[in-house]
Structure 1
């Protein structure tokens, strides 16, 4: 797999116009919402609070989608709780725990699917442009 610089890719995606951009943003939106569903299935189920906090965020007019486990504006205690659920606790006064890694597993699961969806969206847009003349 070829490694692509993130800044270069963002610049290339921002330069997309019209229907190509719409097809790609639709693919990104679909994959991001699928990621939210998968992360909620994989999240641990103690109180249901972790599942409730998982949501999608979009930036750059829909060209960047992120599955978020907790709001960045949340209190520090909530961020610590979400981090310890995802990665576990290795030391501290409350003992040790193993992490559930539900966000990481979601990323691994969707990575290949998203790449294929974007490729199909670009091919679809190219065919539409070619068919118009």
Structure 2
């Protein structure tokens, strides 16, 4: 078994134990993190807020006006759900956190209805 398959099996086990999040939700968070870090001048650790902003941008880029519907289908209904997924990935060793990182960094950062409306200016959130 190669390393990618081993990580996928770990994530699948976490998904089984942590409903309502789907495997697609975990993959999306990892993809959004990659997009967020890639957009930086130099790769570095990103804060919860920075990641949430990147997630929002990536979701709208991928799914446009259906972003909220897709995220809801995957079990994601609020910003803290992204934090829970991130910390589950930290728990299995796929992601790392800094000592100051905490789940509360993801709590209530933006309203889903407003954040995933493509007609709104991101600065208004």
TM-score (norm 1): 0.27
TM-score (norm 2): 0.29
The structure with the greater share of residues assigned to strand is 1
